[in-house]
Amino acid sequence: MLECLIIGDSIAVGTKMFASHCELQGKGGINSWQFNRMYKGSFYADTVIISLGTNDHKGVKTYDELFEMRQRVGAKNVFWVLPHGNLNSPQNLPIDQIQKIVTNLAEYYGDTVLPINSVQPDNIHPSWAGYKDIVERTK
């Protein structure tokens, strides 16, 4: 079994840069629906770090997609990176709705939610210190 697996979007890709001990299954810019279509199968590791939801829009059934993905995770420790922000666009879900979905799913499964403590100027992605902080909190 893998020691660590990071799954998700560009925040997952950035987190991998500071977690050389982890494998990555993810791609920048994808939403939850796209992730489930691109990455089928199960995700097994001692630790799984999930970053999804930031790129979801009103056409994505975020709760359903994240629930489907989480059912395929088998891990001792599961961490959700709490989306901090998204592009301010009429078609995007408000970030507070996405945060509530992530928090509710994490609570349902007994997972840990990791808020992003330091962000880049885009108010979406963690700063370099923010990425390091995420990885430190998963050890």
Q: What would the pLDDT profile of 79-116 be if each residue is shown by its tens digit? A: 999 999 988 788 888 999 999 999 999 999 999 999 99
Asked whether the beta carbons of 51 and 26 are under 8 A apart, the reply is yes
Determine whether 79 is exposed, middle or buried from the number of CB atoms within 10 Å of its CB (0-12, 13-18, 19+).
buried
Does the pTM exceed 0.75?
A: yes
